[in-house]
Amino acid sequence: DGGITQSPKYLFRKEGQNVTLSCEQNLNHDAMYWYRQDPGQGLRLIYYSQIVNDFQKGDIAEGYSVSREKKESFPLTVTSAQKNPTAFYLCASSSGLAGGLNLYNEQFFGPGTRLTVL
Amino acid sequence: KNQVEQSPQSLIILEGKNCTLQCNYTVSPFSNLRWYKQDTGRGPVSLTIMTFSENTKSNGRYTATLDADTKQSSLHITASQLSDSASYICVVRGNNRLAFGKGNQVVVIP
């Protein structure tokens, strides 16, 4: 999984509780991303960050929040406002913004966290 | 409408046989196309990247093709192995965005 770790691998929470998913990378990458994966659907971008202390909303940011206080870390909080939080969450990083000028920026993905809200 | 369509959605093949996965896209302007392999419960891993000028690229038993005129790509798996059982995801970059396909689910049986 290329120097990106996510924890925990499985997470169970009661409805109405906030939960934070961890993502750490030791690849010295500037850009980090959070995706959500549901059965039968493509990956959907939640948030991304190009640099420390800066992040941007993706396509489905509602009900989620992030922080980027360190280059290596990009935690995702799933809040109680997220209507359907049960999903597989993937964190990724790249040496530059994946949609940016470096056409060969590969995204390296972590092993994922499966969140189940009961 | 999804900008990246993959077919077939799923397929079962016998170990040792070949198979071909299809990816059609409408992303424009086009920058590049990646094929990822995702094992169950794991993160995707890049197999190959195709740029506008490339028609064919191989990575071991995986061969990707690209026809930028018809906006189609294929991933051919030769002499399949049980470890090829996975989801194969086509990702197209264009217009400073990434568009993800839903994946081709491949199951290799002995």
Interchain proximity A103–B93, CB inside 8 Å: yes
pLDDT bracket for residue A101 (50, 70, 90)? low
A10 touches chain B (CB under 8 A): no
Measured between beta carbons, the chain B residues lying within 8 angstroms of A98 are 93, 98
The answer to whether residues A49 and A56 touch, using CB atoms and an 8 Å cutoff, is: yes
pLDDT at residue A102 is higher than 90: no
- Could you tell me the pLDDT band of residue A95, with boundaries at 50, 70 and 90? confident
d(CA B18, CA B62): 10
How far does B77 lie from chain A, in Å, by closest CA?
21
Instruction: Give B23-66 pLDDT, tens digit per residue.
Output: 999 998 888 999 999 999 999 999 999 988 889 999 999 999 99
pLDDT in tens, A55-73: 999 999 999 999 999 999 9
Put simply, the answer to whether A112 touches B100 (Cβ < 8 Å) is no
A98 confidence band (pLDDT: 50, 70, 90): low
Q: In what order do the strands lie in the sheet with A64-66?
A: A4-7, A19-25, A76-78, A64-66
pLDDT, position B44: 95
Q: What is the pLDDT of residue B95?
A: 77
pLDDT score at B2: 73
Residue count of chain A: 118
* Residue A99 confidence (pLDDT) above 80: no
SS3 A15: coil
pLDDT of residue B82: 98
Number of helical H runs and strand E runs in chain B: 0, 11
Q: Does A85 lie at the interface with B, CB-CB under 8 angstroms?
A: no
Which of B30, B53, B93, B95 should be substituted to probe chain A, the one whose Cβ sees the most A Cβ atoms within 10 Å?
A: B93
B84 φ/ψ sector (left φ>0, alpha ψ -120 to 50, else beta): alpha
**pLDDT band at residue A118 using 50, 70 and 90 as cut-offs:** confident
User: What is the C-alpha to C-alpha distance for residues A111 and A6, in angstroms, rounded to an integer?
Assistant: 6
Which one of B41, B46, B103 has the shortest CB-CB distance to A112?
A: B41
Taking contacts as CB-CB distances below 8 angstroms, the residues of chain A near B34 are 106
Q: Tell me the average pLDDT across A11-28.
A: 94
pLDDT tens by residue, B56-103: 999 999 999 999 999 999 999 999 999 999 999 999 998 778 899 999
